[in-house]
Homo-oligomer: A and B are copies of this chain.
Amino acid sequence: MTAAVRLGANQYGKAEVRIVKVTRTTPVHEIEDLNVTSQLRGDFTATHLTGDNALVVATDTQKNTIYGLAREHGIGSPEDFLLLLGRHFTGSFDWVTGGRWAADAYSWERIAVGGAPHDHAFVRSGQDTRTAVLDWAEGPVMTSGLTDLVVLKSTGSEFHGFPRDRFTTLKEASDRILATAVTASWRYATTELDYNALYTAIRQILLETFATTHSLALQQTLYAMGAAVLEAHDAVAEISMSMPNKHHFLVDLAPFDLDNPGEIFFAADRPYGLIEATVERAV
């Protein structure tokens, strides 16, 4: 005889609503390009147990709301737009007690024509994507970040001193390529912030710290990057990073009577190292 079952944690909504907003108040247009997900939490037991949808704000309605509120209030920053959504849904429906709103933001730069930035023609720039997640349980908690920030150092990286057991064959390295694709997400301590300025500043700190840290381990580089963000920005409560070690193996050219003094590398796909950690404030 099995025990009774019940509904646990749940959320639902519309995912990956692609919205492009053009600001054309002057001939110099601005564009904002987001991929928005809206999911609601609250009293949704009835639809799960009986299919009674009386409290189910349709996912289509959530999509429409994204477009409508963008027109009424603008976007400004991914984070501000998520707060707008969160406040709308928790404020409009008594039974919606929280939710999860997320946005990816894609970056564009103006096409240069004869050296001058064009008024209304743009080219996608960068490999990385800006991310934002508003998690609303007791109240709004904003976590911003980025993903796919691909960086590489051609020197200034070592790895040695690790323990050796029966399965250890790795040689120690005093000079290797260090390459990774940074995924980082930092939780803000408050919600009234200049999110765009913070994003630009934090991305730059991550890049500069990666570049200037002489690395004895990818863990050390990761920690230095996170610590630098926390030290520079009080508004950041903690930062989590996931960094694959994208291995670049020195090719053995000796069979061809060639040396290889750190010049020719094979960039491997899988497997890869995977280093993940949170850097937080000491209490």
Q: Is the CB of B61 within 8 A of A264?
A: no
Given A20-B267, A125-B127, A219:B165 Cβ within 8 A: no
Q: Is the CB of A63 within 8 A of B216?
A: no
Q: Is the CB of A258 within 8 A of B68?
A: yes
Contact of A197 with B by CB under 8 A? no
Q: Is the CB of B273 within 8 A of A153?
A: no
Q: Is the CB of B37 within 8 A of A121?
A: no
Given A5-B226, A44-B219, A163-B54, A24:B154 Cβ within 8 A: yes
A207 touches which one: B123, B167, B217, B256 (CB < 8 A)? B123
Against B, the Cβ 8 Å flags (1 = close, 0 = not) of A258-279 are 1011111111111111111111
Q: Is the CB of A118 within 8 A of B211?
A: yes
Measured between beta carbons, the chain B residues less than 8 angstroms from A18 are: 266-271
Q: Is the CB of B248 within 8 A of A212?
A: no
Given A162-B54, A248-B20, A258-B68, A273:B215 Cβ within 8 A: no
Given A245-B59, A270-B18, A67:B251 Cβ within 8 A: yes
Q: A15-B270, A121-B153 are in contact. List 16 more A-B contacts (CB 8 A).
A: A2-B230, A7-B279, A15-B272, A21-B263, A31-B154, A50-B220, A56-B217, A61-B167, A68-B258, A71-B258, A108-B152, A111-B210, A112-B208, A123-B150, A123-B207, A169-B255
Would you mind naming 10 contact pairs between A and B with Cβ atoms under 8 Å apart?
A: A15-B270, A19-B267, A21-B263, A37-B274, A52-B161, A56-B162, A57-B163, A58-B168, A58-B170, A60-B168
